[in-house]
């Protein structure tokens, strides 16, 4: 699952609870501040199937296409 404009990562953590045990969630945001907050929230959660990357929404499809497991987008 990929989430665009993922902000502080709260939606990523909710999505991580919804994907199957082998699933993975990636967040894409354009600001370093939000990426840092998301990484802190992800680290605090203990989930190892969540990651966040820097990118513009216009380029997000390219990032998502690099991940063959990203078939659902939010």
Can you give the pLDDT at residue 23? 83
Interval 2-15: pLDDT, tens:
777 888 999 999 99
Note the pLDDT tens digit of each residue in 18-66: 888 888 888 889 999 999 999 999 999 988 889 998 888 777 667 667 7
Edge-to-edge strand ranges of the sheet holding 50-54: 2-4, 25-29, 50-54
* Prediction pTM value: 0.77
């Amino acid at each position: 699952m990929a989430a665009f404009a993922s902000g502080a990562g709260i939606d990523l953590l909710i999505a991580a609870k919804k994907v199957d045990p082998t699933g993975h969630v990636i967040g894409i945001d354009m600001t370093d501040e939000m990426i840092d907050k998301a990484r802190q929230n992800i680290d605090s959660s203990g989930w190892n199937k969540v990651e966040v990357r820097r990118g513009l929404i216009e380029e997000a499809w390219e990032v998502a296409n690099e991940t063959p497991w990203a078939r659902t987008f939010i």
